[in-house]
Chains A and B, each alone.
Chain A
Amino acid sequence: MSGSIRLKHDDLSQALVELLSTIYEGEIELVGLSRLSGGANMEIWSMDAVFDNTSHPIILRRMPGGKNDLNQVGNIDLTTEAELITIAADHGVAVPQIVRVLSPSDRLGIGFLMSRETGLALPKRILKDPNLNKTRQILAFECGKVLAKIHSIPLEKIPRSVESMSEIDINETMQAKLNNYNNASPVHQLTLNWLRDNLPSFRGKTLVHGDFRNGNMLVDTTGIVAILDWELAHIGNPVEDLGYLCGNVWRFGNHDQPVGGFGQYDDLLDGYRSIAGWAPTVEEVQHWEIYCAMNWAMACLAMLDLYRSRADASIERAAVGRRLSESEIDLLLLLDGKI
């Protein structure tokens, strides 16, 4: 890949010290640089920039290996993602603060620096931590409120590179992907046939986060601290985000708590209605859970393809490719009685 840079830990550290010293206008000390797990399709580094006896907690999000080519899994590039996060903040959505969008002269690849906010991100800890017992009871309602705020951002504020995708576009894209990946699953195909014959209700076009789930939000005892991972953002049907949040794969074993494994449909819809003035029906949300399971299948296939093509031959990519059967069982359950 031409123009790609692969930095070793020391080089990374050096490049970061130089950049952060420019940002804070003085020599900084870089402390605790470490790669965080959890981001299989993105490199995420945590660090503290110590300047003037103050420690600034920082996160670096960039393409794996510091490469300069566009993200092959997400819908938008990291520069657009940084732009969207700033716009979301302007509209009252809790997000990290963008510290700097990387430019080529920074020698760090494509990506951005943002503030590292406090709170838990690991889904299973959010579902189990005793300190969050009370928080979990309000979390579904809070999610509804945040989603309604995201969906209320005027379309003219959204960067043009954020694509618009109707259900018909989504179905066509999925068929093209299934063909491209050798039509490996009859379950995915029969689901797609069903989705083509049963289009969801039209609910207008809004910004859709696209990856709004337990695991992509920071939570502390006060509730949602920040919404993360905007790389799958697009313009589409707002109910998609609600269905996605309720997909079984993102309930982390708590099947009887449809909203992220921590809450009930009615609380999510009440929270949404409290800001938006309307809310979809539970059936509409469940329709989009089918898309969520298909989405997970597409993500697994894309990551498997990155592994097989050696574009990113990491052990995580290989492992995710084995999770296709999760989407298949969820789809067969969701379609039970419908086909």
Chain B
Amino acid sequence: MNGTSAAELLEATRDFLLESVLPNQEDFLAYSTRVAANNLAIVSRELELRGYIDKLDEEIIRTLSLQNKGETLSTTLARALRDGIIQVDDDLLEYLRKRTMRSLEIDNPRYSGLILAQARWEKGGLQE
């Protein structure tokens, strides 16, 4: 049997915050405790879903033949757009839509904008 996984540690800590700590807190500390538990939920989702984002990133690097400049891909793209080196085309727009949806599934899966975007661009749910 392996040791406790990262996902399990996160889940156990989150349960502890919500079930044992939160009931004894009031006002601002109760609010902060909920924020802390939600932060852990984000990390859990990131562990599970990060692979989808990495895959999209690899694809757009190939499509646009981008060079690694020792900065994040998002920064490379943002600066290229700022400096007029690349324009928004269908490939880039589709990548940005998908990547943003995948990010929100980690950051805030209940956000209304995500649900609207999935209905408009993906007919709901994850797309491979």
Contact = CB atoms under 8 A, between A and B. Distances in A.
A251 interface: yes
B39 A319 contact: yes
Contact of A326 (B38, B75, B107): B107
Contacts of A187: 96, 100
A315 B81 contact: no
Nearest to A186: B77
B31 interface: yes
Contacts of B100: 187, 325, 328-329, 332
B96 A332 contact: yes
A193 interface: yes
A189 B96 CA distance: 12
A324 B113 CA distance: 12
Given A336-B120, A339-B88, A183 B78 contact: yes
Among A183, A251, A323, residue most surrounded by chain B Cβ atoms (within 10 Å): A183
Contacts of A36: 27-28
B113 A35 contact: no
Nearest to B36: A315
A255 B112 contact: yes
Interface in A73-126: none
21 contacts: A34-B28, A36-B27, A184-B74, A184-B78, A185-B74, A186-B77, A187-B96, A189-B77, A189-B81, A190-B81, A192-B82, A255-B112, A315-B32, A319-B35, A322-B39, A322-B108, A323-B108, A325-B100, A325-B103, A329-B100, A333-B113
Among A184, A186, A314, A316, residue most surrounded by chain B Cβ atoms (within 10 Å): A186
Given A37-B30, A184-B78, A325 B35 contact: no
A312 to B, nearest CB: 13
Nearest to B38: A319
B93 interface: yes
B51 to A, nearest CB: 17
Interface residues of A, number: 40
A182 interface: yes
Contacts of A17: none
Contacts of B117: 329, 332-333
Given A37-B27, A316-B32, A336-B120, A251 B82 contact: no
Interface in B108-123: 108, 110-117, 120
Contacts of B108: 322-323, 325-326
A332 B82 contact: no
Interface string B66-80: 000001101101110
Among A188, A192, A315, residue most surrounded by chain B Cβ atoms (within 10 Å): A315
Contacts of B81: 186, 189-190, 193
B18 interface: no
A248 B103 CA distance: 18
Contacts of B101: 329
A178 B77 CA distance: 13
A27 interface: no
A32 B52 CA distance: 49
Contact of B75 (A184, A255, A316, A332): A184
Contacts of A315: 32, 35-36, 39
A336 B39 CA distance: 31
Contact of A333 (B28, B36, B116): B116
A70 B81 CA distance: 34
Contacts of A183: 74-75, 78-79, 82
B22 interface: no
A253 interface: yes
Contact of A190 (B28, B38, B88, B112): B88
Given A190-B88, A253-B112, A316 B74 contact: no
Interface string A235-277: 0000000000000100101110000000000000000000000
B96 A253 contact: no
A248 B104 CA distance: 15
A240 B113 CA distance: 21
Nearest to A188: B78
A330 interface: yes
Contacts of A316: 32, 35
